[in-house]
Amino acid sequence: MRVWKNTPKDALLLGYSVAQLVVTLWLATVWEESSLLWKVASTAGIAVLMSYNIIVVSHLFTHVPWFTSVRLNAMVSLLNSVNIAQSVQAYHLTHVRNHHRFNNDPVGEDGATRDLSSTYRDGKDGEHAPLLRYAVGGALDSLKNRARELSYVYRLWRVGDDEHELQSLASRREPRRSRELLQVRADRAAYCLSIVLFAAVSWQWALLSYLPATFLALTMVNVQNYYRHYGADPGDRAADSVSHYSRLYNKLTFNDGYHQEHHLSPNSHWSQLPTVRERFRDRLDGRTRIISPVPAMLGFLHTRRSLLHHDSVGEPR
């Protein structure tokens, strides 16, 4: 029986997921006996582990699940919901069905963006939102959402009628819709109960390390997304995001740097993204687009980046 949907190489991503949870629990158990330097370093380490999972591991899983078995994929969703402190299924709905539909669109005539994570969402005069507002403000908003979801224990974390965004993004066809909303509910229960477990192991660690690390991770993820799109042309599907082609970076991140290619073919497995680049080479080379010399997380170092959005009309071509 075939287990892996695409390639056994996805076992590396699964191994990372398991290892992250083990390391996180271990850090909680040794917190109280650790030195101040170790506490600071371990908090930073948790933030890096979590941000890598969101940016690479769970991101890839939301686009192309690893297993042929629906049940195994559901278990991975539970596992990584604990690792990233949010529902992986909800991540799928908001990212795959919203972001990849509207592709970081600029503010429209109604004064809003259709892409919920658009870098233009709080910008003015056709510009991106300020980095701090997008990264730090977005992280604070995410923490508020997690706190609200914790409070949904009274309804056992069911997706309620008041959650219009998730309700609208879930499939309209049954039984798929019910299955998706049930997975969101299960994911929420998993990460909310994991927080209870973390606090039981060491409430000091949960408050002074895990919570700040989660905020830092969410901020880092927002910086990553910001520079994946900053200056790109939202009106051109072949130039609406930014790629980075360092071999080392792409080896370490399962081809995360091929972001323009990912936008052109979001359902392609990570191992096929270099092939996607070749398939669309004529289209890509025929555009003025941004190729960053540094990874998106360090996009602020790309000081001479072009601002293609200044010439964009904001309509797909």
Residue 99 has phi, psi (to 5 degrees) of -60, -45
Closest to 21 in 3D by CA, of 41, 43, 50: 50
Q: Which domain holds residue 280?
A: 233-317
Within the chain, which residues score under 50 in pLDDT?
Answer: 313-317
Among the candidates 182, 212, 229, a domain finishes at: 229
**Do both 24 and 134 map to the same domain?**
yes
Q: For residue 47, is it within any domain?
A: yes
**Do both 167 and 219 map to the same domain?**
yes
- pLDDT for position 312: 63
Among the candidates 229, 259, 279, a domain finishes at: 229
- pLDDT for position 317: 34
**Do both 40 and 172 map to the same domain?**
yes
CA distance 309 to 234: 6
Query: How many domains is the chain partitioned into structurally?
Result: 2
Burial class (CB in 10 A: 0-12, 13-18, 19+), 38: middle
- pLDDT for position 287: 87
> How much is the pTM?
0.96
CA distance 145 to 124: 25
Q: For residue 3, is it within any domain?
A: no
**Do both 161 and 241 map to the same domain?**
no
- Residue 33, number of CB atoms within 10 A of its CB: 7
**Do both 164 and 75 map to the same domain?**
yes
Among the candidates 229, 250, 276, a domain finishes at: 229
Residue that is written with structure tokens 């508020």 in the block: 144
Do 238 and 154 form a contact (C-beta atoms < 8 A)?
Answer: no
Whole-angstrom CA distances from 31 to 27, 161, 209, 212 are: 6, 40, 9, 14
Q: Is the dihedral of CA 154, 157, 161, 164 positive or negative?
A: positive
